[in-house]
Structure 1
Amino acid sequence: TEGDSPTVARRRIRLALREARDAAGLTQMQVAEEMEWSLSKVIRIENGDVTIAPNDLRPLLSFYGIKDRKQVSDLLTSARIARARQRQAWYQTPDFREHLSDATRRLIEYEIEAVAIRSYSIYYIPGFLQTERYAAALTGKFGEELASPKKELLLAARQNRRQTLLSRLAAVEVFVLLEESVFMRPIGGEETFAEQLHEMRRVAAEGQIHLRMLPFALDYPIANNGSYDLMALSTEDTDSEVLYRENGMNDEIVEDKTTTQRHRQRFDQLWHLSKDEPDTIRFIDTRIKKLETRSPSPDIPELE
């Protein structure tokens, strides 16, 4: 506990308090009335929007019937760590707070703390691996919906995420699982997409990330869950994984154990069914060669 970061400590308290309230059969309103707090305070503590002071935590734990000395001591230590003053991170500055969703900011925070990241995508290269040109081309497809400065800030956020991840690859294991269509969709044109594949191939070939492909020919329902990311915050706590998912219109962070475990199981199943790393790299090499020789794309019937 004492070695935790404020991010991990804050999450530990949030989940512990939520579970304790559920076990006690209490509503958030009942807690607010007993503690003489506003309902919004209880909600913000459980959501992780604010940290709880140790002086507030003690009577709350007593109300929940938590009396085990070690458990109380650990949670109080976590509360003190969670309230430690930190240098404001780039994604918490006013401009980014205005244009990034709460879930996206929390995703970035968890990526920075993660010991393992598992990313499953059926449409695009994951954001933390996107080159600047690929990200600009991808975001440009939605130009009518994204006015400046939001578009520029989103692009800056993706590049900051990428640089942060690349700088700490020695401390985090990254598993990237992509459906074959991701490799076939030349976002930004042949040159931009070839550059993107070159960069992704480099980090995969150097062993900095684990990269696998799910082929079209796989006789398995691979797209039922859509794209998602799993961040493990501890190598020892099997319940430390956090799920991030988006559907194009909104995004969310999910910490429910049943949901995260189900997505992890799904990821592991597909990982073992996919092409292994050497085969995936060979496929990328073939794809790059075709892009760089500007071979025509496969014929796609036009809609009449």
Structure 2
Amino acid sequence: MRLALQQARKRAGLTQNQVAEEMEWSTSKVIRIENGDVTISANDLRSLLGFLGVRDRATVTDLLAATRIARTRQRQAWYQAEEFRDTLTDDLRKLIEYESEATEIRSYSIYYIPGPLQTRDYATALMSRYEDELTEDQRTRRVEARMRRREALLGRPDGVRILLMVDESVLRRTIGGPAVFADQLRDLKKHVRDGTVRIRMVPFSLDASVTNNASFDLLRMSVGEALYRETGLGDEMIEDHDTAAKHHARYDRVWNEAADEEDTIQFIEAQIKELERAVADRARQK
């Protein structure tokens, strides 16, 4: 919804200030609507669409239906609860909302398995790295948020196409120890085998990179694409067509150069066997 309104405003050649002045709103209200921080009533939406020149009956009907759903969803959304609003960044909450709407998600990771595909033990082990920065309660809530994202995304009745491209290091980094990481790889393999996820590995031997400083997610919705980018210092949601298109092109180029799905699965299976041997060796040494 917010992406459609933002695009309609830009097509009309209007600034947020101009929209605010015409609608007799504050500029901050326009910004909050476009950011998804607040929803818009059906009556306000009709007036706004008329001002923006959106008059196609089918489009107006779809957007009115979408705003009713959005208002209900925002009231009921788990990630809007106080305990999660204190835990999740504004941009991460936008990402979670987009995950519920996306028809396709392209994910690229250079450090670890992406959040919605993490097992609880893997997520807990990963979060333990932040014990100096976060309280135990904050870490627990962040793990719970990842589990809810996982349930919502993988359990979508309408399905979503997920393409996952990971650096080889992601499939080698033994987060949580051999047993936890083996379970994580087995879980990932299951989702690949049942067709929920397509995966390709960028091997160390491949002289190519999508980006050298950030993991990201590209989410395709009916109204366009949005880019969520994450580094060790912060995260951001970018709703700019040109930036999303540039990342999309880079992603597809490296996807076609990376190890194919079957080779990647064989690599994962070899890793699982090696981890299982490590677990068995540890058990014998006790």
Q: Give TM class, smaller chain.
A: 0.7 to 0.9
1:53 to 30, 41, 47: 41
Aligned to 1:280: 264
Asked whether 1:189 is paired with 2:177, we answer yes
Asked whether 1:252 is paired with 2:236, we answer yes
How far, CA to CA, are the matches of 2:230 and 2:113 in structure 1? 14
Aligned to 1:36: 24
Asked whether 1:269 is paired with 2:253, we answer yes
How far, CA to CA, are the matches of 2:243 and 2:80 in structure 1? 28
Relative to 1, partners in 2 of residues 1:183 and 1:68: Cα closer, same or farther, differing over 3 Å?
closer
Aligned to 1:117: 105
Q: Report the alpha carbon displacement of residue 251 of structure 1 after superposing the two structures with TM.
A: 1.3
1:168 to 153, 156, 173: 156
Q: Deviations over 1:159-216 (max 9, x none)?
A: 1122223323771221111110111111112221112112112222333311111110
Measured on the aligned residues, the alpha-carbon RMSD in Å equals 2.5
Unaligned stretches of 5+ in structure 2?
Answer: 280-286
> Secondary structure in 1 aligned to 2:96?
helix
1:242 to 214, 218, 226: 226
How far, CA to CA, are the matches of 1:163 and 1:75 in structure 2? 27
Aligned to 2:276: 292
Q: Report the alpha carbon displacement of residue 98 of structure 1 after superposing the two structures with TM.
A: 1.8
Q: 1:118·1:229 contact (CA, 8 Å) conserved in 2?
A: yes
How far, CA to CA, are the matches of 1:78 and 1:195 in structure 2? 39
Aligned to 1:219: 207
> Secondary structure in 2 aligned to 1:134?
helix
How far, CA to CA, are the matches of 2:153 and 2:71 in structure 1? 25
Q: 1:61·1:72 contact (CA, 8 Å) conserved in 2?
A: yes
Q: Report the alpha carbon displacement of residue 23 of structure 1 after superposing the two structures with TM.
A: 4.4
Q: Deviations over 1:242-271 (max 9, x none)?
A: 221111222122221111111111111111
Aligned to 1:89: 77
Identity rate of aligned residues, in percent?
A: 53
Q: 2:213·2:231 contact (CA, 8 Å) conserved in 1?
A: no
> Secondary structure in 2 aligned to 1:185?
coil
> Secondary structure in 2 aligned to 1:293?
helix
How far, CA to CA, are the matches of 2:227 and 2:181 in structure 1? 28
Q: Report the alpha carbon displacement of residue 87 of structure 1 after superposing the two structures with TM.
A: 5.9
2:165 to 177, 186, 197: 177
Q: Which amino acid aligns with 1:184?
A: R
Tell me which protein shows more helix as a share of its residues: 2
Relative to 1, partners in 2 of residues 1:205 and 1:71: Cα closer, same or farther, differing over 3 Å?
closer
Asked whether 1:141 is paired with 2:125, we answer no
How far, CA to CA, are the matches of 2:152 and 2:51 in structure 1? 41
> Secondary structure in 2 aligned to 1:113?
coil
Relative to 1, partners in 2 of residues 1:187 and 1:271: Cα closer, same or farther, differing over 3 Å?
same
